[in-house]
Every structure is written in structure tokens, then in C-alpha cells.
């Protein structure tokens, strides 16, 4: 499997992401944001986390206009599988490839810690290896992770099973760290080929680091 990982100025998770997929046997390539085309035979396109363009303006708002994003949009619209992690999620919403927006955390502080998530829907390639209502423990690290969508948009998300993950405690009870609408931590598009989440599964690959729950998430793409 070929995984292409987009790198912007300020991205800081591209190598963690590369190593996570390589650990599971994938071939990877990091793609600089000024590239005009994607690598041939790309099976999965990942926009990694970090602080693209220093998070000036809104997070992801400048990265959305990088040359590579034309190819990202074409790839997604043609049915290609795209994953946005943290800042990558923000970029995908700014580009209109995912609904909603990411705002400043309610407490106005940067949050960096492990946090539990509940799997809400698994009828998609990303989470198919994780049972609905299962609880996983994945690191979060963000200042603008407060997911917002209006009432009608939320109804659409719920109707189409686009809500993938919610922030909870270890018992599956809602525990919202940033103010996200309905405690949403991750979503997908209607066609279920574009995915975005604020938590970092690539940082949850080894128990010695606190959790290996990210393995089952990433493995979904490799089946």
C-alpha cells in the first residue's frame, strides 16, 4: 500500500505518521506542499498534524491555498481516501472537503494529553476494526480543536453516520476537553472517503508511550 503524506511549512507530525504506517508495512512518501502532482499509485493521502504556516489567520486557512491542495481536492473528489489528523483536519475543513470548522478551545489553552474516545460509527474503512461504542485512548495536542457545525449541519452528520468519534472518559461518558459540538472528535464526508480527527493515532502505536490503540485505527486503511 502506498501512503502519501503532505508536508507544509510548520508541519511537525509527518515523520511520526510515516513511521506509523511503515511499521504496519506500508510504503510511504512525504510530499512537499509546493508539489504540483501526487505520487503515482497513492492509495491513501494523509495531511499530518502540526502548525502549518504557524497557524496564522485561522488554522489551516493558508495551507488551504498551497499548490498541492488542488491535487488533494481532485484526488478526494475522484474517490481517493484522505485522512486529516489535527492540523490536517483543520486544513480539510478550510478546503471544504469536510463540513464544519475548528475554533479556539473553550478554555483558550493549548491541550496536550491522552484522552479517551468512543467509537460512534464504524461503517467506514477507517474505523472498521473497532466495534461501535468501544473506548480507545489517543493523545490530543491542540489549541483550536473546538469543532463547530450549525444545527442543520449537525442533523446531516447524524443522519449520514458521519460522526466517527466523541470525547469521553474511560467509562464512555461524555468528557469534552475543548467545547466541541456534541463532544465530536472526528468526522467523515458523506461518501466516507475523507476523514478528519483532532486526536493523534500515530502517537498511540506502542504501549510504552501510553497506548497502542492507534494501531487498530491505522490498520483499517491497510486491509
In this model, does residue 162 exceed pLDDT 90? yes
For residue 46 the three cell numbers come to 494523509
In this model, does residue 193 exceed pLDDT 80? yes
pLDDT score recorded for residue 56: 78
Residue 220 CA from chain centroid, whole number? 14
Task: Read off the pTM.
Answer: 0.96
Instruction: Answer whether CATH 3.40.50.880 is correct for domain 2-222.
Output: yes
> Annotated catalytic, 202?
yes
Q: 10 Å Cβ neighbour count for 34?
A: 11
Please choose, from the candidates 145, 219, 151, 143, the residue with its C-alpha nearest in 3D space to the C-alpha of residue 183. 145
Among 14, 33, 71, 86, the active-site one is 86
Measured at the CA of 134, the angle between CA 196 and CA 137, to 5 degrees, comes to 65
Tell me the average pLDDT across 68-75: 96
Fill in the DSSP letter of residue 174. B
Check residues 63 and 48 and name the one with the higher pLDDT: 48
Tell me the average pLDDT across 62-85: 95
> Annotated catalytic, 13?
no
Give per-residue pLDDT as tens, 76-95.
999 999 999 999 999 999 99
Among 33, 115, 142, 200, the active-site one is 200
Share of the chain above pLDDT 90, in %: 92
Tell me the average pLDDT across 115-140: 97
* CA–CA distances in Å: residue 14 to residues 31, 58, 127, 195, 199: 10, 21, 21, 17, 15
* CA–CA distances in Å: residue 86 to residues 43, 89, 132, 198, 199: 21, 5, 22, 4, 6
> Annotated catalytic, 200?
yes
pLDDT score recorded for residue 61: 86
Amino acid at each position: 500500500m502506498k501512503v502519501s503524506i503532505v508536508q507544509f511549512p510548520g508541519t511537525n507530525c509527518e515523520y511520526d505518521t510515516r513511521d506509523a504506517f511503515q511499521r504496519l508495512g506500508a510504503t510511504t512518501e512525504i510530499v512537499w506542499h509546493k508539489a504540483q502532482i501526487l505520487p503515482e499509485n497513492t492509495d491513501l493521502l494523509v495531511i499530518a498534524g502540526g502548525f502549518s504556516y504557524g497557524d496564522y489567520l485561522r488554522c489551516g486557512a493558508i495551507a488551504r491555498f498551497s499548490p498541492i491542495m488542488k491535487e488533494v481536492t481532485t484526488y478526494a473528489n475522484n474517490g481517493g481516501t484522505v485522512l486529516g489528523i489535527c492540523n490536517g483536519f483543520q486544513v480539510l475543513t478550510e478546503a471544504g472537503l469536510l463540513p464544519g470548522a475548528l475554533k479556539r478551545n473553550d478554555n483558550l489553552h493549548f491541550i496536550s494529553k491522552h484522552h479517551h474516545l468512543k467509537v460512534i460509527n464504524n461503517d467506514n474503512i477507517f474505523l472498521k476494526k473497532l466495534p461501535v461504542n468501544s473506548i480507545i485512548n489517543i493523545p490530543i495536542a491542540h489549541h483550536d480543536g473546538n469543532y463547530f457545525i450549525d444545527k442543520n449541519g449537525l442533523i446531516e452528520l447524524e443522519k449520514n453516520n458521519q460522526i466517527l468519534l466523541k470525547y469521553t472518559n474511560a467509562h464512555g461518558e461524555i468528557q469534552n476537553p475543548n467545547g466541541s459540538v456534541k463532544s465530536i472528535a472526528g468526522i467523515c464526508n458523506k461518501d466516507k472517503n475523507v476523514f478528519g480527527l483532532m486526536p493523534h493515532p500515530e502517537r498511540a502505536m506502542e504501549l510504552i508511550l501510553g497506548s497502542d490503540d492507534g494501531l487498530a485505527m491505522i490498520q483499517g486503511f491497510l486491509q
